[in-house]
Chains A and B, each alone.
Chain A
Amino acid sequence: GQNIDQPTEMTATEGAIVQINCTYQTSGFNGLFWYQQHAGEAPTFLSYNVLDGLEEKGRFSSFLSRSKGYSYLLLKELQMKDSASYLCASYNTDKLIFGTGTRLQVFP
């Protein structure tokens, strides 16, 4: 079966660093996506990991360990606008399977 787990909610302070974890157990795994979704809006692409290791893109970084079925999204220098839901999605064969999302609230 397909199972993707991530925390439901997290809070952090402006300027801080936060790590959002995701574990997955899926068949036909080909890669791991992270999307950002503000309330009432469509998801927007953040990152894609195929190989093990860390991918850095500005304030956002994403890590993948295929052997452990584990990924995380690291957000640095948090800003108020980073308050959103962060969706972990496993790319399986030819489609994305999404987790339930982690709602991040950034406080001043």
Chain B
Amino acid sequence: EAEVAQSPRYKITEKSQAVAFWCDPISGHATLYWYRQILGQGPELLVQFQDESVVDDSQLPKDRFSAERLKGVDSTLKIQPAELGDSAMYLCASSLTGGSYGYTFGSGTRLTVV
């Protein structure tokens, strides 16, 4: 069964350092999403791509977060500088047609900022 690949699985970083997460969606999935999930809460959408274009980044803290999907395939989410409040699970998901058949999530990256 096709999967969404994410790495690293776990990341511990110090406050004010830069950190990056990588996601490779299921082949052929044009829509890619990055979500942040704080412990005990539901996933919150950070950014949505359609191919290489950003469709929605209204909830992305743009002063410190950036996301790119240069060739419309894999994607990178970066935080610089990291803050204690950024500790969370970062989930990548992809879908065929913008989500009408649901998403397939990757295993996520658990970020701890110390």
Contact = CB atoms under 8 A, between A and B. Distances in A.
Interface residues of B, number: 26
B42 A42 contact: no
A42 B102 contact: no
B110 interface: yes
Contacts of A42: 91, 105-108
Interface string B70-81: 000000000000
A74 interface: no
Contact of B99 (A44, A91, A99, A101): A91
B42 A98 contact: yes
A31 B43 CA distance: 18
B91 A94 contact: no
Contacts, number: 56
A86 to B, nearest CB: 10
Interface string A27-44: 000110100000011111
B14 interface: no
Contact of A95 (B33, B41, B42, B105): B33
Contact of A31 (B56, B98, B100): B100
Nearest to A31: B100
Interface string A94-107: 11111111000000
A41 B107 contact: yes
Given A40-B110, A42-B91, A101-B42, A96 B99 contact: yes
A91 B33 CA distance: 14
30 contacts: A30-B100, A33-B102, A40-B89, A41-B108, A42-B91, A42-B105, A42-B107, A42-B108, A43-B91, A43-B105, A45-B103, A87-B42, A87-B43, A91-B99, A94-B48, A94-B98, A94-B99, A95-B33, A95-B45, A95-B56, A95-B98, A96-B33, A96-B99, A96-B103, A97-B45, A98-B35, A100-B40, A100-B41, A101-B40, A101-B42
Interface of B: 31, 33, 35, 40-45, 48, 55-56, 89, 91, 98-108, 110
Interface of A: 4, 30-31, 33, 40-45, 48, 87, 89, 91, 94-101
